[in-house]
Structure 1
Amino acid sequence: MATRTPRTSAREIAARERVRERRASVWEREAKLEDLATSFLLAEEGIADIDKKAEGKIARYAERIRAEAEKDKQPLLDRQTSSAREMLGMEGIRVVADMLQVPADVMREFKQSQEDRGKAVSIAESGAGSSSIEAVAVEVAAEGHRSRQEI
C-alpha cells in the first residue's frame, strides 16, 4: 500500500484549492436556491391569505345581496300566494295546477298548508295565548304532514 508523503506538492495544493472553489460555488448556489424557494413559499402563503380574505368578503357581500333579494321578493311571494289561494277558491286543484303549470301534488300541498294556516289563525283569533297558538299550529302542521304520508 502506498502511503502518502507528509509533504504536499504544489500540484496537490492547487487541486485542493480548485475543489474548495467548486464547493464554495455549489454552496453559494444551494444557498441562493434555498433563499429563492423560501421567497416563493412566502409569496404563496401571502396569496392564500389574500384569497381567503377575498372569499370572506365575497361571502358576506353575497349574503347581504341574498337578504336584500329575499326582502324584495316577499311582496311578490305574498301576491303569488294570494292569487293561488283565490284560484283554489274558484276551481279545483287539478284545474289550477294545469293553469299554473305546476304538478297537482304541489298544489295539493299548497292548499293543505293554507288550510292548516287558516286553522291556526282562527284559533289565534279566538283569544288563546301565543304559546298555545304556536303549539296548535305546530300540531296542525304535523297532523297534515302525517296524513299526507298515509295517502
Structure 2
Amino acid sequence: MASVRQFQVTFDCAQPERVARFWCEVLGYVVPPPPPGFADWGEFDRALPPEQQGSAFACVDPTGVGPRLFFQRVPEGKVAKNRLHLDVRVGTGLVGEQRLAALEAECARLLDLGATRVRLLTADGFNESCLVMQDVEGNEFCLD
C-alpha cells in the first residue's frame, strides 16, 4: 500500500509576498519563521542576490494540518483559467439560505482584502451553491 505524502501548493505569481499575505488572511495561515541566523524575512531577502530578492514567499497552517503554500515569482502573467483551484470551505453542512449567507459574508470579508467576486453558482439539486472568486492576482478559487 502506498504511503500518504505531504505536499505543498505552489502559486506562480508576480508579487509572491503580496499574494502569500492575502492567502494567510483568507485561510488563517501564518508566515513561518525565517531561516536560522536571520531576524526576519526582510533581512533574509536582502542577503539574496538582487535578481532573487522578492522572488518567493510562503505561508503555513499554524496547526500543522494543512499544506504549506509556496509563492514563486514568474516572468509571465496569468493568461488563462486555472487548471487547479482551491475551494475554501465556509459553508460546510449548510444548505439553502444559511449557506448563501455564509458565502456572502465571507465574500464581503475577502473583497476587503482585494479579492474579486466572479459569479455565484446556485444549488442545482446535485451541487450546493458556491461562489467563484479571484485572489489579488486573478487566480480563481471558490467559496464552498
> By the TM > 0.5 criterion, same fold?
no
| Structure showing greater relative contact order (alpha-carbon pairs closer than 8 Å, 6 or more residues apart) | 2
- Larger-Rg structure: 1
Q: More helix by proportion, 1 or 2?
A: 1
TM-score normalised by the chain length of structure 1: 0.23
TM-score normalised by the chain length of structure 2: 0.24
Q: More strand by proportion, 1 or 2?
A: 2
